[in-house]
Chain A
Amino acid sequence: MTLALFLQHLANALSLGSLYALIAIGYTMVYGILRLINFAHGDVFMLGAYLAFYSVATFMLPWWGALLLAVLLTAAFGVGLEWVAYRPLRDSPRISVMISAIGASFLIENVAIVLFGGRPKGVTVPDVMNVKLTLGGVSIMSVSLVIPIITFVALAVLLWVVQRTRVGMAMRAVSTDLDAARLQAIDVNRIVSFTFGTGSLLAGVGGIMWSYKYPQLNPLMGVMPGLKCFIAAVIGGIGNIPGAVLGGFLLGGIELLTIAFLPTLTGYRDAFAFVLLIVVLLVKPSGLLGGAAVEKV
């Protein structure tokens, strides 16, 4: 393998990894606050892509307007999802909430099939995202350069919010002790809504970027990325935001380097994600950056 080819694969891995990271952040934030795995997160991702598609195709918005509108609507959808499917079960056993999450996921997928149709739709990629950039034998599309930038900006902003702002302080409080947070007159519901909104917003951005990178939509497009990004969050240490980003990059890296070095195993690229998950869970069950699980007494 030539150096140029290796760098090419590395660039692809970086771009795919940061896309995974963007979605994994949503899983990890929601888990951090509510100890809930939002199985519908992948479907929120799908919804973001479709909303942007229809904003362009039906409402004739320019691509950036469509992106903005779709992202905001996706965030609102995430808040609404929590309101309908999870909030009524706030003090129920965790298994009930999990079943509700799985139900919500199936519901969204099937409603999407009815509304959007089961046949794949082609996305018109905006010109700025579709520029071929070449540097020393490595060529990538501009969207693949934009995604890592978005991911790192999102990571920096989120870390700042969580560590430095009042709402971030309240988020950390709610995540460690729900009742104690209530006793400080913290509006727990508002914090949870904020968390879902932020996570869904990032999923929406991720879905749209995905549709620029792989310009085809179908109502089940969120299932596999959703599962993989959940794995990424677990690998990094679920509940830990930098961990989710690290997990996303690891997953993207392993997947594309498999293709690079073991081309005959390309068909098994998804299996490597699960192998990585199993290895990490065996060696460090709390994830790479996750602290030791503190049992509440």
Chain B
Amino acid sequence: MLKVDELSVHYGGIHALQGISLEVPDGAIVSLIGANGAGKSTTLRTIVGLVKASGGAVSWNGDRITGLATKDVVARGVCLVPEGRHVFPNLTVDENLILGAYSRKDRPGIAADRDKVFALFPRLQERMRQKAGTLSGGEQQMLAVGRALMTRPRLLMMDEPSLGLAPLVVKMIFDIVKTINAEGVTVLLVEQNAKAALEIADFGYVLETGRITLSGPGKQLLADEGVRKAYLGDVKPVGAVAR
């Protein structure tokens, strides 16, 4: 279980996170939604140690991981698929995947995980010798997820996986998230696409300018009047949403 306790982050004079607390129970999908600049990405980047916290603590399975180097957090099974995918464009698809397992020594395990990624994303296998920079946005997102899976995460954090992708690809990515979760990987999802994110979430948090303002089960947040107004762009009562 991931536990974030009163986490604070300052960027220069800006108080980006103002003491947020949240929990991600084992096996769950938890979504963190909010507007641009609310601090969603900062939250994930702080958990994984790319950004320094100015206060508060993050613990993973009871161990404090605040202040650890990113590589040590990742080695403990907490992994982030960054916003904008950030695959290595000048490396091949296969090299990207191999790098995902950089800290691991178990060759057979690595090979098995690579096969698993290829089973999950057959497209990546077709393109394994291609430079990652030549892939489409959707394929790059698949590669970013695949590369993250190669670290053998127990908690997979995803930052805006649907950003800039076609609706069909978005649906596919969210299906994959569900599949990964069904195999026992805990998921913490950050999304601007609040509807999709809350629909698959067991639990959700709403982040507004550095504070958690609302939390509850995904379905309950979806039905919440304030959430609907602010993030779903409609004011119709529940049940009346045309699909």
Interfacial residues, chain A to chain B (CB-CB below 8 A): 166, 169-170, 172-173, 176-177, 179-188, 294, 297
B95 lies within 8 A of A184 (CB): no
A172 lies within 8 A of B86 (CB): no
Question: Which residues of chain B (74-111) have a CB below 8 Å from chain A?
Answer: 74-75, 79-80, 82, 84, 86-91, 95, 98-100, 102-103
- In the complex with contacts A172-B90, A177-B88, A182-B75 CB distance below 8 A: no
Interfacial residues, chain B to chain A (CB-CB below 8 A): 48-50, 69-71, 74-75, 79-80, 82, 84, 86-91, 95, 98-100, 102-103, 147-148, 151
B102 lies within 8 A of A184 (CB): yes
Given contacts A170-B99, A182-B70, A186-B102, 7 further A-B contacts (CB under 8 A): A176-B91, A177-B88, A184-B102, A184-B147, A185-B103, A186-B71, A186-B103
Contact of B74 among A170, A183, A294 (CB under 8 A): A183
Which of B49, B90, B95 has the most C-beta atoms of chain A within 10 angstroms of its own C-beta? B90
**In the docked arrangement, what's the CA distance between A179 and B46, Å?**
12
Q: Is the interface of B mostly helix, strand, loop or mixed?
A: loop
**In the docked arrangement, what's the CA distance between A241 and B70, Å?**
29
A185 lies within 8 A of B88 (CB): no
Contact of B82 among A179, A186, A187, A294 (CB under 8 A): A179
B185 to chain A, nearest CB (A): 16
A172 lies within 8 A of B50 (CB): no
A29 to chain B, nearest CB (A): 16
Contact of B89 among A166, A169, A176, A181 (CB under 8 A): A176
**In the docked arrangement, what's the CA distance between A186 and B103, Å?**
7
In the complex, which residues of chain A have a beta carbon less than 8 angstroms from the beta carbon of B88? 172-173, 176-177, 180-181
**In the docked arrangement, what's the CA distance between A72 and B82, Å?**
39
A169 lies within 8 A of B98 (CB): yes
A183 lies within 8 A of B82 (CB): yes
In the complex, which residues of chain A have a beta carbon less than 8 angstroms from the beta carbon of B87? 180
- In the complex with contacts A176-B89, A297-B84, A183-B102 CB distance below 8 A: no
A90 to chain B, nearest CB (A): 12
B104 to chain A, nearest CB (A): 8
Instruction: Please list the 8 inter-chain residue pairs (A to B) with the smallest Cβ-Cβ separation, ordered nearest first.
Output: A185-B103, A185-B74, A182-B70, A180-B86, A185-B71, A173-B88, A184-B99, A186-B102
**In the docked arrangement, what's the CA distance between A163 and B75, Å?**
25
B91 lies within 8 A of A184 (CB): no
22 A-B contact pairs sorted by A residue (CB < 8 Å): A166-B102, A169-B91, A169-B95, A170-B102, A172-B90, A172-B91, A173-B88, A176-B88, A180-B82, A180-B86, A180-B87, A182-B49, A182-B69, A182-B71, A183-B79, A183-B82, A184-B103, A184-B147, A184-B151, A186-B99, A294-B89, A297-B84
**In the docked arrangement, what's the CA distance between A186 and B227, Å?**
39
A173 lies within 8 A of B86 (CB): no
In the complex, which residues of chain B have a beta carbon less than 8 angstroms from the beta carbon of A172? 88, 90-91
Contact of B50 among A170, A182, A294, A297 (CB under 8 A): A182
**In the docked arrangement, what's the CA distance between A177 and B50, Å?**
13
**In the docked arrangement, what's the CA distance between A297 and B83, Å?**
11
A36 to chain B, nearest CB (A): 19
B129 to chain A, nearest CB (A): 14
**In the docked arrangement, what's the CA distance between A121 and B172, Å?**
71
